[in-house]
Amino acid sequence: MDDFISFVPPDVTVHYGWIVLVIGTDETDPEYFQCLVSTPLALEEALCRSKDCLVHIVERYEPANILSTLIARVENSKGNTWIEIVDQLRTFMRWERG
């Protein structure tokens, strides 16, 4: 994670990339969620390379801000069961069973 946070793209206004979050509870094995994050100027290329996906649009590709936003969205996902939470997470990330 430190490598991601310290990464600075050549142009923070024209960049995209995949982020993998490992999420789980004490009762479940870790689950893998993928997020495509793109700036508006890189969106066309990102979509050409990654069909059928959800994209998070950011004005500037700044990893620390991206990560804190994604963590906040995960922490705000609530449900009575893990599957209910996963269903919420799947609205903005791809889910890969662990």
Alpha-carbon gap, residue 24 to 38, rounded angstroms: 26
Alpha-carbon gap, residue 60 to 16, rounded angstroms: 10
- Segment 7-44, tens digit of pLDDT: 999 999 999 999 999 887 777 678 899 999 999 999 99
How far is CA 94 from its chain centroid? 8
pTM of the model: 0.81
pLDDT of the residue at 96: 76
Count of Cβ atoms closer than 10 Å to residue 64 Cβ? 11
Q: Where are the beta strands (DSSP E) in the chain?
A: 16-23, 31-38, 55-57, 94-96
Q: How large is the C-alpha radius of gyration of the chain?
A: 14
